[in-house]
Structures are given as C-alpha cells and as structure tokens.
Amino acid sequence: MKVKCALIQLAFRKGVDNALTAAEGFIAEAAADGAQLILLPEMFCCPYSTKKFPEYAQPDDGEMCRRMSAAAAKAGVWLVAGTVPELVREEDGTEKIYNTAFVYGPNGREVCRHRKIHMFDVDVAGGVSMRESDTLAAGDSITMFDTPFGRVGVAVCYDLRFFEMFRLMQKAGCGIIAVPACFTAKTGAAHWEVLFRSRAIDCQCYLLGCAQTRNDSAPYVCHSHSIAVDPWGRVLADAGTDECIVYAELDTEVTEKVKAQLPVLKQLREDAYHL
C-alpha cells in the first residue's frame, strides 16, 4: 500500500495566530496535492526557548490544538501537528508543561499525543547550552497510532538519539515513525541525516523528520533539512533550509522487500544479549 506524506518546513512567525494561520494554509496546500499524512515541526508556534515555553503553554483545549484539529478535519488528513507546549494542571493544583506532539485523524479527532520523553539538557562546545528540564516535564510512554496504511510511531527531536524506544516501536509493528524536531545547526550538521538513516535501517521502516527553517540570526538556530528516509536508508526527500513543503511516497511493499532481503529482525538473538 502506498501513502503520500508531506513535511511542512515552517519559518517561525511571531504571534500564535500568525504561526497557526501559516500552518493551516500549508496543510490545505499539501492535502490538495494529495498528501494523506502531514507533519509539522517541533514548537512551530513557539520560540524555542526554555524561558518562553511557560508563556506559550496551553491546555489541550487551547487555540493551538483546536485549530490544528479543525485543519486536519477540513483537509481530511492524518496530521502530526508538530509540538506545542502543553499545560497540564494536576489534581493537587500544580502545573506541568510538556513538549507534546498531538496527532489528529481525518475527522479531526485526537488519536494520540506524545510527550517528549528525553529532555534536551546539553552543553555542546561551540554550539548550544540548554536545559529543557528547567521548564519542561518529561513524558514516560511510547506512542503509536493505527491508520489504513499501517501503524505509525511518534517521537520528538532528542528522542531520536535513544535507540531503545525506536526498537520497541519497531517490535510493535510500526512501519513509519514520525519525528517533529528542531536539531541545532551544529548537532544537526553532524548527526541529523546519520541518525535518521540509522534508525530507518535498524528498524527497517520509514523515518520522517520535520523541522523549522534555518534562521542564523535567531537565538536558537535550527538545522532544518526536514527529511524522509526509506527502510533501505535512502533519503527520499530533503527540504534544505527554506520554508517549503516536501513530499515522499511511502510504500509498504518496499518495507516487505527490505525485510525479505535482510531478515535481521527475525534473526535477533535476544537470548544472547546480556552481560
């Protein structure tokens, strides 16, 4: 079975309304071009700054979620709506903010949400110093959803570096893994394509990464290069650094051919994987 996916590489816009309006327009355009599965970037309507996440945080019935749900329904597509800072009020009155990817079906209903599990707490020499955990809470569960074209897994940005969670999604039957992301310019130049190709080869499935455009004058410079990789590790689409939509055709037949030629998933020796 074939499915056309669209990666919408958005430029950051000041103001939530401006960001959402731009996303709505691109979603409609991608759907008109035949896309059935659409991805948006990580924090596409919020500055990528730990200080700004609380300012932009909204509950799951806030404007960001309502409008993305409506956009999915209007376009009749499966939408991995990037990520937004999700505000959660606990029963004891405390509040938490998660970096959350909401997924909507063609009817506009939420089918799942993935809260970023691994916090980007790093200090890269000559690159960026950040501690997401200063303002964000970490998720604690693997996220997948079922579609007519197979099971899809969801991860967010830094999650990509943790192979164990991808192996679990592969073992659960995911043929596609969608990753809204915003790698830094330095780490992205070194690791972005390598990691996506590695995960696709290891898990013998399609890997999709959707990022923001690159703005060298911004406080946080994104690597960009939204990417689609097939189960053989071939790059099907690379968006470069400008605002655009890139498309890729995903084919379950290709996945089955790769698994038949290299049956590594059947040859796992978990009985021997111990010290």
Q: What residues act catalytically?
A: 42, 116, 157
Residues in the chain: 275
Reduced to 3 states (helix: H, G, I; strand: E, B; else coil), residue 130 is strand
Longest dimension (CA), the chain: 55
Round to the nearest angstrom and report the end-to-end CA distance of the chain.
41
Instruction: Bin 205: left if φ > 0, else alpha if -120 < ψ < 50, else beta.
Output: beta
Question: DSSP letters of 245-267?
Answer: EEEEEEEHHHHHHHHHHS-TTTS
How many C-beta atoms lie closer than 10 Å to residue 145's C-beta? 19
E strand segments, the chain: 2-9, 37-39, 78-80, 84-89, 95-104, 110-115, 121-123, 129-131, 143-147, 150-154, 174-180, 206-210, 227-229, 235-238, 244-251
Distance CA 157, CA 120 (A): 9
